Structure formats: C-alpha cells, structure tokens
C-alpha cells in the first residue's frame, strides 16, 4: 500500500479509465481484474496470467424496476455475464494465475487444485484450471446443484466427486484433504480469491464516474464476496480514488441465514446452522468460512443483514424479469432484501442502490420453470405466465389476441 500510495488517486483513475477505454475500442478480450493488476497481483507476469476476459460486466440501470419499487436509482451489476456465468471468475483468475506462476518458478508444488462448491465455484475452477492445463478436483453435494452447474466442471475435464452431504460437509472434507497436502485449496478462505473479487467494488465506482453508491446489496452464503467488497472499496478510499464508503447489505436466504441471525441477535460471531433447502442453492451454506471477515465488512461499511423467504426471492425474480432483467434466485434474494429495506425506509427514496447479481439465470432454468408452472409455494400468482395452447388456425389465434 505504501508503494501504491506514491501514485495519486487522480492518476489511478486516469490509468484505469485509459485501460478500460482501450479495451472497448480494440474489441479484444479484456479483463476487469487484470486492468487493475497493480492492486491485485503485480508480481504475476503476463506469460502466466490465466484470463477469460472476466469482469468489465454491465452496470444495468434498472429504471422501470426502480420506479415500481420506489427507489431513487437502482442498478444491477451483472456479474453473471462473465465466462462461466458467475462472480466466481473474478477470484479464480487470480488464484489460478498465481498457482501457474508458482509452478513455473518452482515456488509451488501442486498435485491438484480443489474446491468444495454449490456449483459456481466448481465451474470457475474447472474452466480456469483447464485453460492453464492444471488438474482440478471439485467436491459437490450430490443432487443439490443445478444440471447446468454440474455439467460445467464435467465438460472441462475436472474430477467431480458428488458427496452424500451438503456444502458444509464438502467443505470439511476438502479442508482436510488440503491439510494433508493432497490438494491446493481454491475456496474463498484462500485470500487470492478475495484479491480478484474485490475488483467488482472498484469497477462499480468506475462505472459510476468514480462516485460511490449509497448502498451495495449482495447475496452471500460463504461470505467471501461481502469481504471482497469491503477490501475493494476500502483500498480505493485509502488510495484517494473514491472519497467515501457505501453502506453494505448482506442478503441471505431465510433457509440459510447464520449471518442474519448473528446480526439480529447482536452477536459478535456467526454461529453455524444447518442450512435448509433453498432455490438460492449457491448460498445454501450454514457454516460460512469467511464469517469473521464479513463481520469486519459490516462494521466498516455501516452495514445491515436482511433475509428473504423462498416466496419473496421468487417473486423478486419475477418482478425483475417483468422489467427486462433475467434474475437468478441469488439475485432474487438480494433484490427482495433491497425491496424490504426500501419499504421500511432503511434505504431512503433518493438513495442510489447497486444490487450485485452474482450468477447467470440461464443456469437456473428449473427454478424459472417451477415458478411459471405455479409450483413455488406462496408465489404471487399474478406474475405467473404460462403458454396458451391453441390450434394452428389464424382465426382462433386472432380471437385469442383480441
């Protein structure tokens, strides 16, 4: 940080904007992470960077949804438009690049890179591992990830181990494998992941003309992404790139809510719970490994924790979709929590809010179909939309339209 502080905040802004503009003009694959390389992993040379053009994702102005829900300004940071369709790419490019550099220099000896996952982490690790030619092992809770998420690591050639447990059980196993030296751990308790994921905070500020939103709302299960937002915004403030911190809302599913419980009960530590089934499967985590860091983020960013029921997250997705978005269930959790905070006046009507969308909704087609087949309990029936079956007769079709 001392070395970075030798460059002024204005100079950093100019450098990052120049890189962003140069990539946009060239049309070449670009990386929002490595465009901030001095702040991430400056010792990794170009030759060992493993990138798929992650980051630089759209900051979507959700104007219609903002009007309907009473927000001053509402943006959705579309992190699901990255290579593997999730926020996880931002951290995995750094982790795999550092490992590749370590192997090339002899500083590391790695038999395989491994992670426990609810879907998206395994997809990102498998893709980046394949790009680097590194062996990858992923541990998934059997039957608890979407088909699309299961197919991704299989397609990339990872060794996929489906365990008869939940995510927390998979995490326990992979940590022990790492402790025995059998694998290199790639979950977000590894700080290399946070180094990449923190760039989403810097990118949000950059896309808002180096201003800071009043609120950032992020769905969180293992809580590493909450810690990453804190890391990014605090670094930018310390280096004079931004002048203040936004407030943070950590959004959790009601069925997997250890952080929410700790917040409501004003506890200093997060106590593990047994996470129950939730449509937001990627955040079905009862014993988050980054809980302590997330507690620090909450305090530093004057944050709150909110939760969403299964019906609330599903309805929030449907409302967002009707406004032109296509929201995954985890984004639905964040949107539902933002709606609740706005309704209670915690978020004021003139405040600017950014919701971080962590995954691509195309991975969760089964969830979308269940909603529009009215198979989600207590969902708003007015938002359900089903096909109308008609004969191929123009008169019948015309009458139906009228």
Give the per-residue SS3 of 310-353.
Answer: HHHHHHHHHHHHHCCCCCCHHHHHHHHHHHHHHHHCCCCCCCEE
CA distance 233 to 181: 34
Measured torsion, CA atoms of residues 110, 115, 119, 120, in degrees rounded to the nearest 10: -60
Output the CA–CA distances (angstroms, integers) from residue 67 to 63, 243, 251, 298, 340, in the order listed. Answer: 6, 28, 22, 28, 15
Token code pair at residue 261 = 């419980």
Cβ atoms 285, 219 nearer than 8 A: no
What is the per-residue pLDDT for 208?
A: 98
Tokens of 196: 């990449």
pLDDT per position in the chain (402 positions), as tens? 999 999 999 999 999 999 987 665 544 458 999 999 999 999 999 999 999 999 999 999 999 999 999 999 999 999 999 999 999 999 999 999 999 999 999 999 989 999 999 889 999 999 999 999 999 999 999 998 888 889 999 999 999 999 999 999 999 999 999 999 999 999 988 999 999 999 999 999 999 999 999 999 999 999 999 999 999 999 999 999 999 999 999 999 999 999 999 999 999 999 999 999 999 999 999 999 999 999 999 999 999 999 999 999 999 999 999 999 999 999 999 999 999 999 999 999 999 999 999 999 999 999 999 999 999 999 999 999 999 999 999 999 999 999
pLDDT of residue 107: 94
Q: What is the pTM of this model?
A: 0.94
How high is the pLDDT of residue 258?
97
Q: Which residues pair with 357 in a beta bridge?
A: 78
Q: Are strands 352-357 and 215-219 parallel, antiparallel or unpaired?
A: parallel
Alpha helices in 268-328 (DSSP H): 291-300, 310-322
- β strands within 117-182, DSSP E: 136-141, 159-163
* Cα dist from 318 to 79, 348, 384, whole Å: 19, 24, 8
């Amino acid at each position: 940080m001392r070395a970075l502080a030798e460059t002024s905040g204005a100079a950093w802004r100019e450098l990052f904007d120049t890189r962003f503009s140069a990539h946009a003009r060239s049309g070449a694959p670009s990386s929002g992470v490595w465009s901030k390389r001095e702040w991430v992993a400056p010792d990794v040379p170009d030759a060992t960077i493993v990138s798929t053009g992650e980051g630089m994702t759209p900051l979507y102005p959700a104007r219609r949804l903002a009007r309907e829900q009473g927000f001053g300004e509402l943006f959705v940071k579309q992190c699901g438009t990255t290579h593997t369709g999730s926020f996880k790419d931002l951290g995995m490019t750094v982790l795999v690049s550092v490992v590749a550099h370590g192997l090339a220099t002899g500083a590391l000896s790695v038999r395989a890179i491994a992670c426990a996952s609810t879907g998206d982490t395994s997809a990102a690790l498998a893709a980046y591992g394949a790009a680097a030619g590194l062996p990858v092992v992923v541990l998934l809770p059997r039957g608890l990830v979407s088909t699309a998420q299961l197919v991704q690591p299989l397609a990339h050639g990872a060794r996929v181990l489906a365990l008869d447990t939940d995510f927390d059980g998979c995490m326990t196993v992979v940590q022990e494998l790492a402790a025995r030296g059998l694998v290199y751990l790639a979950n977000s308790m590894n700080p290399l992941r946070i180094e990449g994921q923190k760039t989403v905070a810097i990118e949000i500020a950059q896309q808002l003309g180096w201003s800071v939103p009043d609120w950032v709302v992020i769905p969180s299960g293992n809580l590493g992404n909450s810690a990453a937002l804190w890391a990014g915004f605090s670094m930018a403030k310390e280096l004079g790139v931004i002048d203040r911190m936004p407030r943070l809302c950590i959004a959790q599913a009601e069925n997997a809510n250890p952080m929410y419980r700790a917040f409501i009960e004003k506890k200093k530590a997060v106590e593990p719970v047994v996470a129950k089934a939730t449509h937001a499967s990627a955040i079905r985590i009862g014993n988050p490994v980054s809980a302590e860091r997330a507690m620090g983020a909450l305090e530093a960013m004057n944050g709150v924790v909110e939760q969403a029921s299964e019906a609330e997250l599903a309805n929030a997705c449907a409302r967002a979709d009707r406004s032109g978005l296509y929201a995954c269930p985890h984004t639905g959790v964040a949107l539902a929590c933002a709606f609740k905070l706005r309704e209670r006046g915690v978020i004021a009507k003139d405040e600017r809010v950014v919701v971080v969308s962590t995954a691509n909704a195309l991975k969760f087609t089964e969830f979308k179909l269940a909603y529009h087949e009215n198979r989600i309990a207590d969902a708003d029936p007015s938002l359900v939309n089903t096909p109308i079956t008609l004969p191929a007769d123009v008169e019948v079709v015309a009458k139906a339209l009228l």
